[in-house]
Amino acid sequence: MSVQAKFYVAEVTRFGYGGGENATMGRRVKLQATSRKDESNRKFWQATPSGQIELSLSAEAGAGAGLWFEERIGKSVLLTFEDAPAE
């Protein structure tokens, strides 16, 4: 079984880490649970709890994901929660 939730990309912030010449830029992504009460969001609004998710993406490994989130600021995204495979 899986559970699906609808969030929107509320904010993407760039930040530097490492300092000096070797500083790199990462991104911090904030997702907010959908709370807009329009017809297309009604079933998610009724089932999705309030809350937020915050992700920190590294410059190297997270560059593609960071751009993906930046292109979706203010837009809704779906998250699917399911059991991870056994290790």
Q: Per-domain residue ranges for the chain?
A: 2-82
Residue 9 token pair: 């990309």
pTM above 0.85, yes or no: no
As a whole number, mean pLDDT of residues 13-31 equals 79
Mode of pairing for the β-strands spanning 76-82 and 52-57: unpaired
Using the predicted structure, report yes or no on whether residue 55 has a pLDDT greater than 70: yes
Reading phi first (left if > 0) and then psi (alpha if -120 to 50, else beta), residue 35 is in alpha
* Helix runs in 41-81, H state only: 42-47, 63-70
Share of the chain above pLDDT 70, in %: 74
Residue 72 token pair: 């979706």
